[in-house]
Structure 1
Protein backbone atom coordinates (compact mmCIF):
# COMPACT_ATOMS: atom_id res chain seq x y z
CA UNK A 1 0.00 0.00 0.00
CA UNK A 2 1.23 3.49 -0.80
CA UNK A 3 1.98 5.75 2.13
CA UNK A 4 0.15 9.02 2.67
CA UNK A 5 3.31 10.85 1.59
CA UNK A 6 3.39 8.94 -1.70
CA UNK A 7 -0.28 9.65 -2.30
CA UNK A 8 0.24 13.36 -1.67
CA UNK A 9 3.28 13.43 -3.97
CA UNK A 10 1.32 11.70 -6.73
CA UNK A 11 -1.50 14.20 -6.43
CA UNK A 12 0.84 17.20 -6.47
CA UNK A 13 2.76 15.93 -9.49
CA UNK A 14 -0.47 15.35 -11.40
CA UNK A 15 -1.75 18.82 -10.58
CA UNK A 16 1.27 20.88 -11.57
CA UNK A 17 0.47 24.22 -13.25
CA UNK A 18 1.82 23.01 -16.60
CA UNK A 19 -0.25 19.82 -16.48
CA UNK A 20 -3.39 21.70 -15.48
CA UNK A 21 -2.91 24.20 -18.30
CA UNK A 22 -2.57 21.35 -20.78
CA UNK A 23 -5.79 19.81 -19.45
CA UNK A 24 -7.54 23.17 -19.72
CA UNK A 25 -6.38 23.36 -23.32
CA UNK A 26 -7.74 19.87 -23.95
CA UNK A 27 -11.10 20.88 -22.49
CA UNK A 28 -11.24 24.01 -24.66
CA UNK A 29 -10.28 21.95 -27.72
CA UNK A 30 -13.14 19.51 -27.04
CA UNK A 31 -15.56 22.37 -26.48
CA UNK A 32 -14.65 24.16 -29.71
CA UNK A 33 -13.98 21.32 -32.13
CA UNK A 34 -17.17 19.38 -31.40
CA UNK A 35 -19.17 22.52 -32.05
CA UNK A 36 -17.34 23.08 -35.32
CA UNK A 37 -18.12 19.53 -36.44
CA UNK A 38 -21.82 20.39 -36.32
CA UNK A 39 -21.48 22.75 -39.26
CA UNK A 40 -23.73 21.66 -42.17
CA UNK A 41 -20.80 21.48 -44.60
CA UNK A 42 -19.37 18.63 -42.49
CA UNK A 43 -22.62 16.93 -41.49
CA UNK A 44 -23.86 16.71 -45.06
CA UNK A 45 -20.87 14.63 -46.21
CA UNK A 46 -20.54 11.10 -44.80
CA UNK A 47 -16.85 10.92 -45.62
CA UNK A 48 -16.01 14.34 -44.19
CA UNK A 49 -18.07 13.68 -41.06
CA UNK A 50 -16.49 10.26 -40.48
CA UNK A 51 -12.91 11.38 -41.12
CA UNK A 52 -13.16 14.55 -39.04
CA UNK A 53 -14.83 12.70 -36.17
CA UNK A 54 -12.15 10.01 -36.17
CA UNK A 55 -9.40 12.62 -36.41
CA UNK A 56 -10.75 14.34 -33.29
CA UNK A 57 -10.73 11.00 -31.43
CA UNK A 58 -7.08 10.63 -32.47
CA UNK A 59 -6.07 14.11 -31.31
CA UNK A 60 -7.80 13.70 -27.94
CA UNK A 61 -6.05 10.37 -27.40
CA UNK A 62 -2.67 11.89 -28.26
CA UNK A 63 -3.25 14.96 -26.10
CA UNK A 64 -4.40 12.86 -23.14
CA UNK A 65 -1.37 10.57 -23.21
CA UNK A 66 0.99 13.54 -23.62
CA UNK A 67 -0.44 14.95 -20.38
CA UNK A 68 0.05 11.62 -18.62
CA UNK A 69 3.70 11.25 -19.63
CA UNK A 70 4.56 14.93 -19.26
CA UNK A 71 4.87 17.60 -21.92
CA UNK A 72 8.66 17.62 -22.10
CA UNK A 73 11.23 17.37 -24.89
CA UNK A 74 12.20 13.87 -23.74
CA UNK A 75 8.68 12.54 -24.08
CA UNK A 76 8.62 9.77 -26.67
CA UNK A 77 6.46 11.26 -29.41
CA UNK A 78 6.05 7.80 -30.93
CA UNK A 79 4.03 6.79 -27.86
CA UNK A 80 1.83 9.86 -28.25
CA UNK A 81 1.14 8.94 -31.87
CA UNK A 82 0.37 5.36 -30.86
CA UNK A 83 -2.10 6.59 -28.25
CA UNK A 84 -3.85 8.55 -30.97
CA UNK A 85 -3.94 5.45 -33.14
CA UNK A 86 -5.52 3.41 -30.32
CA UNK A 87 -8.12 6.13 -29.72
CA UNK A 88 -9.18 6.16 -33.36
CA UNK A 89 -8.77 2.53 -34.45
CA UNK A 90 -11.79 1.45 -32.38
CA UNK A 91 -14.07 2.64 -35.17
CA UNK A 92 -12.86 -0.20 -37.39
CA UNK A 93 -15.40 -2.41 -35.61
CA UNK A 94 -18.14 -0.55 -37.50
CA UNK A 95 -16.90 -2.19 -40.70
CA UNK A 96 -16.59 -5.61 -39.05
CA UNK A 97 -20.19 -5.48 -37.87
CA UNK A 98 -21.36 -4.18 -41.24
CA UNK A 99 -19.44 -6.98 -42.98
CA UNK A 100 -18.51 -4.47 -45.64
CA UNK A 101 -16.02 -1.73 -46.46
CA UNK A 102 -18.90 0.52 -47.39
CA UNK A 103 -18.88 3.68 -45.27
CA UNK A 104 -22.64 4.04 -45.60
CA UNK A 105 -23.14 0.51 -44.26
CA UNK A 106 -20.73 1.21 -41.39
CA UNK A 107 -22.65 4.36 -40.45
CA UNK A 108 -26.09 2.74 -40.51
CA UNK A 109 -25.62 -0.23 -38.22
CA UNK A 110 -28.59 -1.87 -36.46
CA UNK A 111 -26.66 -1.89 -33.16
CA UNK A 112 -23.41 -0.66 -31.67
CA UNK A 113 -20.26 -2.68 -32.50
CA UNK A 114 -18.46 -4.67 -29.79
CA UNK A 115 -15.47 -2.38 -29.21
CA UNK A 116 -17.90 0.37 -28.25
CA UNK A 117 -18.94 -1.57 -25.14
CA UNK A 118 -17.23 0.26 -22.26
CA UNK A 119 -16.91 -2.86 -20.10
CA UNK A 120 -14.57 -4.24 -22.76
CA UNK A 121 -11.91 -1.68 -21.74
CA UNK A 122 -10.94 -3.12 -18.31
CA UNK A 123 -11.24 -6.68 -19.65
CA UNK A 124 -8.84 -6.01 -22.54
CA UNK A 125 -6.47 -3.98 -20.35
CA UNK A 126 -6.24 -6.69 -17.69
CA UNK A 127 -5.84 -9.40 -20.33
CA UNK A 128 -3.06 -7.38 -21.94
CA UNK A 129 -1.36 -6.88 -18.58
CA UNK A 130 -1.51 -10.62 -17.87
CA UNK A 131 -0.14 -11.48 -21.30
CA UNK A 132 2.72 -9.01 -20.84
CA UNK A 133 3.50 -10.52 -17.45
CA UNK A 134 3.63 -14.02 -18.93
CA UNK A 135 5.86 -12.79 -21.75
CA UNK A 136 8.03 -10.87 -19.26
CA UNK A 137 7.28 -7.53 -20.95
CA UNK A 138 5.89 -5.91 -17.83
CA UNK A 139 8.76 -3.41 -17.44
CA UNK A 140 9.50 -2.17 -20.95
CA UNK A 141 5.85 -2.23 -22.02
CA UNK A 142 4.15 -1.48 -18.70
CA UNK A 143 2.60 1.69 -20.14
CA UNK A 144 0.52 -0.16 -22.76
CA UNK A 145 -2.53 -1.19 -20.65
CA UNK A 146 -2.70 2.33 -19.25
CA UNK A 147 -2.43 3.87 -22.69
CA UNK A 148 -5.17 1.60 -23.97
CA UNK A 149 -7.43 2.53 -21.03
CA UNK A 150 -7.07 6.26 -21.49
CA UNK A 151 -7.26 6.16 -25.31
CA UNK A 152 -10.34 3.94 -25.45
CA UNK A 153 -12.02 5.68 -22.52
CA UNK A 154 -11.64 9.07 -24.20
CA UNK A 155 -13.27 7.62 -27.33
CA UNK A 156 -16.18 6.11 -25.40
CA UNK A 157 -16.78 9.26 -23.35
CA UNK A 158 -16.88 11.38 -26.49
CA UNK A 159 -19.26 8.95 -28.21
CA UNK A 160 -21.33 9.08 -25.03
CA UNK A 161 -22.60 12.58 -25.80
CA UNK A 162 -24.53 11.08 -28.72
CA UNK A 163 -25.29 7.52 -27.67
CA UNK A 164 -24.61 7.26 -23.94
CA UNK A 165 -22.25 4.63 -22.50
CA UNK A 166 -22.89 0.99 -23.32
CA UNK A 167 -22.13 -1.00 -20.16
CA UNK A 168 -22.91 -4.55 -21.21
CA UNK A 169 -24.50 -6.64 -19.81
CA UNK A 170 -26.17 -3.87 -17.79
CA UNK A 171 -27.51 -1.80 -20.68
CA UNK A 172 -26.64 1.76 -21.61
CA UNK A 173 -26.86 5.19 -20.04
CA UNK A 174 -28.59 8.26 -21.35
CA UNK A 175 -26.50 10.53 -23.62
CA UNK A 176 -23.91 12.36 -21.54
CA UNK A 177 -24.34 16.12 -21.09
CA UNK A 178 -21.84 17.99 -23.24
CA UNK A 179 -20.35 19.81 -20.23
CA UNK A 180 -19.76 16.48 -18.47
CA UNK A 181 -17.96 15.09 -21.52
CA UNK A 182 -15.63 18.11 -21.59
CA UNK A 183 -14.85 17.94 -17.85
CA UNK A 184 -14.33 14.18 -17.73
CA UNK A 185 -12.13 14.18 -20.84
CA UNK A 186 -9.96 16.98 -19.45
CA UNK A 187 -9.60 15.32 -16.03
CA UNK A 188 -9.10 11.74 -17.26
CA UNK A 189 -5.30 12.08 -17.74
CA UNK A 190 -4.92 13.27 -14.14
CA UNK A 191 -6.95 10.40 -12.75
CA UNK A 192 -4.87 7.96 -14.77
CA UNK A 193 -1.65 9.65 -13.67
CA UNK A 194 -2.50 9.44 -9.96
CA UNK A 195 -3.47 5.76 -10.20
CA UNK A 196 -0.26 5.02 -12.10
CA UNK A 197 1.75 6.73 -9.36
CA UNK A 198 0.05 4.77 -6.61
CA UNK A 199 0.56 1.44 -8.40
CA UNK A 200 4.20 2.17 -9.19
CA UNK A 201 3.68 2.07 -12.96
CA UNK A 202 5.16 5.50 -13.59
CA UNK A 203 8.27 4.73 -11.56
CA UNK A 204 8.84 1.64 -13.73
CA UNK A 205 8.23 3.68 -16.88
CA UNK A 206 10.82 6.20 -15.76
CA UNK A 207 13.55 3.71 -14.83
CA UNK A 208 12.97 1.00 -17.46
CA UNK A 209 11.29 2.66 -20.42
CA UNK A 210 12.83 6.11 -20.32
CA UNK A 211 9.53 7.99 -20.07
CA UNK A 212 9.81 11.33 -18.32
CA UNK A 213 7.33 11.37 -15.43
CA UNK A 214 8.31 14.61 -13.76
CA UNK A 215 5.20 16.64 -14.66
Structure 2
Protein backbone atom coordinates (compact mmCIF):
# COMPACT_ATOMS: atom_id res chain seq x y z
CA UNK A 1 0.00 0.00 0.00
CA UNK A 2 1.37 3.41 -0.93
CA UNK A 3 2.31 5.82 1.85
CA UNK A 4 0.59 9.18 2.25
CA UNK A 5 3.77 10.88 1.03
CA UNK A 6 3.78 8.81 -2.16
CA UNK A 7 0.11 9.62 -2.73
CA UNK A 8 0.76 13.33 -2.27
CA UNK A 9 3.66 13.38 -4.74
CA UNK A 10 1.69 11.38 -7.29
CA UNK A 11 -1.22 13.77 -6.97
CA UNK A 12 1.05 16.77 -7.46
CA UNK A 13 2.48 15.16 -10.59
CA UNK A 14 -1.04 14.67 -12.00
CA UNK A 15 -1.73 18.39 -11.46
CA UNK A 16 1.56 19.71 -12.83
CA UNK A 17 1.67 22.73 -15.12
CA UNK A 18 2.47 20.46 -18.08
CA UNK A 19 -0.53 18.27 -17.30
CA UNK A 20 -2.90 21.22 -16.90
CA UNK A 21 -1.72 22.77 -20.18
CA UNK A 22 -2.24 19.42 -21.92
CA UNK A 23 -5.79 19.29 -20.59
CA UNK A 24 -6.41 22.83 -21.80
CA UNK A 25 -5.16 21.78 -25.22
CA UNK A 26 -7.53 18.81 -25.14
CA UNK A 27 -10.44 21.15 -24.45
CA UNK A 28 -9.43 23.37 -27.39
CA UNK A 29 -9.16 20.31 -29.63
CA UNK A 30 -12.68 19.19 -28.65
CA UNK A 31 -14.02 22.66 -29.36
CA UNK A 32 -12.35 23.01 -32.76
CA UNK A 33 -12.75 19.41 -34.00
CA UNK A 34 -16.48 19.21 -33.41
CA UNK A 35 -17.05 22.58 -35.02
CA UNK A 36 -15.07 21.49 -38.09
CA UNK A 37 -17.17 18.33 -38.37
CA UNK A 38 -20.22 20.53 -38.91
CA UNK A 39 -18.94 21.67 -42.29
CA UNK A 40 -21.34 20.70 -45.08
CA UNK A 41 -18.55 18.94 -47.02
CA UNK A 42 -18.23 16.43 -44.20
CA UNK A 43 -21.90 16.21 -43.26
CA UNK A 44 -23.00 15.45 -46.80
CA UNK A 45 -20.64 12.49 -47.18
CA UNK A 46 -21.73 9.55 -45.01
CA UNK A 47 -18.39 7.75 -45.01
CA UNK A 48 -16.37 10.92 -44.42
CA UNK A 49 -18.68 11.93 -41.57
CA UNK A 50 -18.48 8.51 -39.91
CA UNK A 51 -14.70 8.18 -40.25
CA UNK A 52 -14.07 11.75 -39.09
CA UNK A 53 -16.33 11.31 -36.08
CA UNK A 54 -14.62 8.07 -35.08
CA UNK A 55 -11.19 9.61 -35.60
CA UNK A 56 -12.05 12.41 -33.17
CA UNK A 57 -13.15 9.81 -30.59
CA UNK A 58 -9.78 8.09 -31.09
CA UNK A 59 -7.72 11.26 -30.69
CA UNK A 60 -9.61 12.31 -27.56
CA UNK A 61 -9.00 8.87 -26.04
CA UNK A 62 -5.28 9.02 -26.84
CA UNK A 63 -4.91 12.60 -25.64
CA UNK A 64 -6.77 11.87 -22.39
CA UNK A 65 -4.53 8.95 -21.51
CA UNK A 66 -1.42 10.92 -22.47
CA UNK A 67 -2.46 13.53 -19.89
CA UNK A 68 -2.77 10.80 -17.25
CA UNK A 69 0.61 9.15 -17.79
CA UNK A 70 2.67 11.90 -19.35
CA UNK A 71 4.73 10.92 -22.39
CA UNK A 72 8.21 10.23 -21.04
CA UNK A 73 9.31 7.24 -23.15
CA UNK A 74 8.66 5.84 -26.62
CA UNK A 75 7.10 2.78 -25.01
CA UNK A 76 4.36 5.02 -23.61
CA UNK A 77 3.05 5.43 -27.15
CA UNK A 78 1.78 1.85 -27.12
CA UNK A 79 -0.56 2.61 -24.23
CA UNK A 80 -1.69 5.85 -25.83
CA UNK A 81 -2.55 4.06 -29.09
CA UNK A 82 -4.43 1.40 -27.12
CA UNK A 83 -6.46 4.13 -25.39
CA UNK A 84 -7.41 5.56 -28.77
CA UNK A 85 -8.37 2.12 -30.01
CA UNK A 86 -10.63 1.56 -27.00
CA UNK A 87 -12.25 4.95 -27.49
CA UNK A 88 -13.10 4.27 -31.12
CA UNK A 89 -13.85 0.52 -31.11
CA UNK A 90 -17.15 1.07 -29.26
CA UNK A 91 -18.82 2.04 -32.52
CA UNK A 92 -18.42 -1.50 -33.80
CA UNK A 93 -21.55 -2.39 -31.85
CA UNK A 94 -23.55 -0.44 -34.44
CA UNK A 95 -22.65 -3.09 -36.99
CA UNK A 96 -23.38 -5.95 -34.60
CA UNK A 97 -26.85 -4.61 -33.87
CA UNK A 98 -27.47 -3.97 -37.56
CA UNK A 99 -26.29 -7.50 -38.39
CA UNK A 100 -24.59 -6.04 -41.43
CA UNK A 101 -21.38 -4.38 -42.57
CA UNK A 102 -23.45 -1.74 -44.31
CA UNK A 103 -22.65 1.73 -42.97
CA UNK A 104 -26.13 2.91 -43.85
CA UNK A 105 -27.67 0.10 -41.80
CA UNK A 106 -25.32 0.82 -38.90
CA UNK A 107 -26.31 4.49 -38.87
CA UNK A 108 -30.06 3.90 -39.06
CA UNK A 109 -30.63 1.61 -36.10
CA UNK A 110 -34.01 1.36 -34.36
CA UNK A 111 -32.31 1.74 -30.95
CA UNK A 112 -28.90 2.44 -29.46
CA UNK A 113 -26.50 -0.53 -29.29
CA UNK A 114 -25.43 -2.04 -25.97
CA UNK A 115 -21.93 -0.54 -25.67
CA UNK A 116 -23.51 2.91 -25.84
CA UNK A 117 -25.23 2.32 -22.50
CA UNK A 118 -23.19 4.37 -20.01
CA UNK A 119 -24.08 2.02 -17.14
CA UNK A 120 -21.93 -0.61 -18.85
CA UNK A 121 -18.73 1.39 -18.31
CA UNK A 122 -18.26 0.97 -14.53
CA UNK A 123 -19.52 -2.62 -14.73
CA UNK A 124 -16.95 -3.59 -17.38
CA UNK A 125 -14.16 -1.64 -15.65
CA UNK A 126 -14.82 -3.33 -12.30
CA UNK A 127 -15.16 -6.76 -13.93
CA UNK A 128 -11.83 -6.19 -15.69
CA UNK A 129 -10.20 -5.14 -12.42
CA UNK A 130 -11.52 -8.25 -10.70
CA UNK A 131 -10.31 -10.51 -13.52
CA UNK A 132 -6.85 -8.93 -13.37
CA UNK A 133 -6.75 -9.51 -9.61
CA UNK A 134 -7.71 -13.16 -10.04
CA UNK A 135 -5.03 -13.67 -12.69
CA UNK A 136 -2.49 -11.65 -10.65
CA UNK A 137 -2.02 -9.01 -13.35
CA UNK A 138 -2.81 -6.07 -11.08
CA UNK A 139 0.66 -4.48 -11.30
CA UNK A 140 1.72 -4.90 -14.92
CA UNK A 141 -1.78 -4.18 -16.29
CA UNK A 142 -3.16 -2.06 -13.45
CA UNK A 143 -3.79 0.79 -15.88
CA UNK A 144 -6.23 -1.11 -18.10
CA UNK A 145 -9.51 -0.62 -16.17
CA UNK A 146 -8.73 3.08 -15.81
CA UNK A 147 -7.81 3.42 -19.47
CA UNK A 148 -11.04 1.71 -20.49
CA UNK A 149 -13.03 3.94 -18.15
CA UNK A 150 -11.49 7.15 -19.53
CA UNK A 151 -11.67 6.08 -23.18
CA UNK A 152 -15.26 4.86 -23.05
CA UNK A 153 -16.48 7.74 -20.89
CA UNK A 154 -15.01 10.33 -23.25
CA UNK A 155 -16.79 8.58 -26.14
CA UNK A 156 -20.13 8.54 -24.30
CA UNK A 157 -19.90 12.17 -23.17
CA UNK A 158 -19.17 13.27 -26.72
CA UNK A 159 -22.04 11.20 -28.13
CA UNK A 160 -24.19 12.75 -25.42
CA UNK A 161 -24.04 16.08 -27.25
CA UNK A 162 -26.48 14.68 -29.79
CA UNK A 163 -28.31 11.89 -28.00
CA UNK A 164 -27.90 12.43 -24.27
CA UNK A 165 -26.55 9.71 -21.98
CA UNK A 166 -28.30 6.35 -21.89
CA UNK A 167 -28.31 5.21 -18.27
CA UNK A 168 -30.14 1.91 -18.42
CA UNK A 169 -32.41 0.92 -16.76
CA UNK A 170 -33.19 4.54 -15.82
CA UNK A 171 -33.63 5.92 -19.33
CA UNK A 172 -31.65 8.70 -20.97
CA UNK A 173 -30.74 12.27 -20.17
CA UNK A 174 -31.21 15.40 -22.22
CA UNK A 175 -28.43 16.19 -24.72
CA UNK A 176 -25.23 17.28 -22.99
CA UNK A 177 -24.55 21.01 -23.52
CA UNK A 178 -21.51 21.53 -25.72
CA UNK A 179 -19.70 23.66 -23.15
CA UNK A 180 -20.23 20.99 -20.48
CA UNK A 181 -18.89 18.30 -22.82
CA UNK A 182 -15.68 20.31 -23.33
CA UNK A 183 -15.24 20.89 -19.59
CA UNK A 184 -15.91 17.28 -18.59
CA UNK A 185 -13.67 15.82 -21.30
CA UNK A 186 -10.72 18.07 -20.46
CA UNK A 187 -11.20 17.47 -16.71
CA UNK A 188 -11.71 13.70 -16.91
CA UNK A 189 -7.99 12.75 -16.90
CA UNK A 190 -7.44 14.75 -13.70
CA UNK A 191 -10.51 13.33 -12.01
CA UNK A 192 -9.32 9.81 -12.80
CA UNK A 193 -5.76 10.64 -11.73
CA UNK A 194 -7.07 11.86 -8.37
CA UNK A 195 -9.02 8.65 -7.77
CA UNK A 196 -6.03 6.61 -8.97
CA UNK A 197 -3.88 8.39 -6.37
CA UNK A 198 -6.31 7.43 -3.63
CA UNK A 199 -6.23 3.77 -4.69
CA UNK A 200 -2.45 3.64 -5.18
CA UNK A 201 -2.67 2.99 -8.93
CA UNK A 202 -1.17 6.34 -9.83
CA UNK A 203 2.01 5.52 -7.92
CA UNK A 204 2.46 2.26 -9.86
CA UNK A 205 2.01 4.18 -13.13
CA UNK A 206 4.46 6.84 -11.97
CA UNK A 207 7.13 4.19 -11.44
CA UNK A 208 6.31 2.37 -14.66
CA UNK A 209 6.44 5.50 -16.83
CA UNK A 210 9.61 6.90 -15.34
CA UNK A 211 8.04 9.68 -13.32
CA UNK A 212 10.25 10.25 -10.30
CA UNK A 213 8.47 10.41 -6.96
CA UNK A 214 10.71 11.62 -4.14
CA UNK A 215 9.95 10.09 -0.73
Q: What TM-score do you get using the length of structure 2 for normalisation?
A: 0.93
| Structure 2 residue aligned with 1:212 | 210
Q: Return 5+ residue gaps in structure 2 as ranges.
A: none
Distance 1:158 1:134, change over 3 A: same
Following TM superposition, by how much is the alpha carbon of 1:136 offset from its aligned partner in structure 2, in angstroms?
1.0
1:78 & 1:5 partners in 2: Cα distance? Answer: 30
| Structure 2 residue aligned with 1:113 | 113
- Secondary structure of the structure 2 residue equivalent to 1:139: coil
Distance 1:12 1:206, change over 3 A: closer
Q: Return 5+ residue gaps in structure 1 as ranges.
A: none
- Secondary structure of the structure 1 residue equivalent to 2:165: coil
**What count of residue pairs does the alignment treat as equivalent?**
213
Distance 1:64 1:75, change over 3 A: farther
| Structure 2 residue aligned with 1:55 | 55
* 1:29 corresponds to 2:29: yes
Following TM superposition, by how much is the alpha carbon of 1:15 offset from its aligned partner in structure 2, in angstroms?
1.7
State whether residues 162 and 175 of structure 1, in contact with CA within 8 Å, keep that contact through their aligned partners in structure 2: yes
| Structure 2 residue aligned with 1:128 | 128
Distance 1:166 1:191, change over 3 A: same
* 1:161 corresponds to 2:161: yes
State whether residues 161 and 178 of structure 1, in contact with CA within 8 Å, keep that contact through their aligned partners in structure 2: yes
User: CA offsets, 1:135-172, max 9 Å, x none?
Assistant: 11111111000000000000000001000111111111
State whether residues 206 and 212 of structure 1, in contact with CA within 8 Å, keep that contact through their aligned partners in structure 2: yes
- Secondary structure of the structure 2 residue equivalent to 1:81: helix
| Structure 1 residue aligned with 2:41 | 41
Distance 1:9 1:181, change over 3 A: same
User: CA offsets, 1:19-52, max 9 Å, x none?
Assistant: 0110000000000010000000000011000000
- Secondary structure of the structure 2 residue equivalent to 1:101: coil
Following TM superposition, by how much is the alpha carbon of 1:9 offset from its aligned partner in structure 2, in angstroms?
4.0
Following TM superposition, by how much is the alpha carbon of 1:204 offset from its aligned partner in structure 2, in angstroms?
2.2
State whether residues 10 and 198 of structure 1, in contact with CA within 8 Å, keep that contact through their aligned partners in structure 2: no
2:202 & 2:75 partners in 1: Cα distance? Answer: 13
Q: How does 1:126-205 map to 2 (within 5 A)?
A: 126-205=126-205
Following TM superposition, by how much is the alpha carbon of 1:198 offset from its aligned partner in structure 2, in angstroms?
1.1
State whether residues 98 and 105 of structure 1, in contact with CA within 8 Å, keep that contact through their aligned partners in structure 2: yes
Q: What TM-score do you get using the length of structure 1 for normalisation?
A: 0.93
**CA RMSD for the aligned pairs?**
1.9
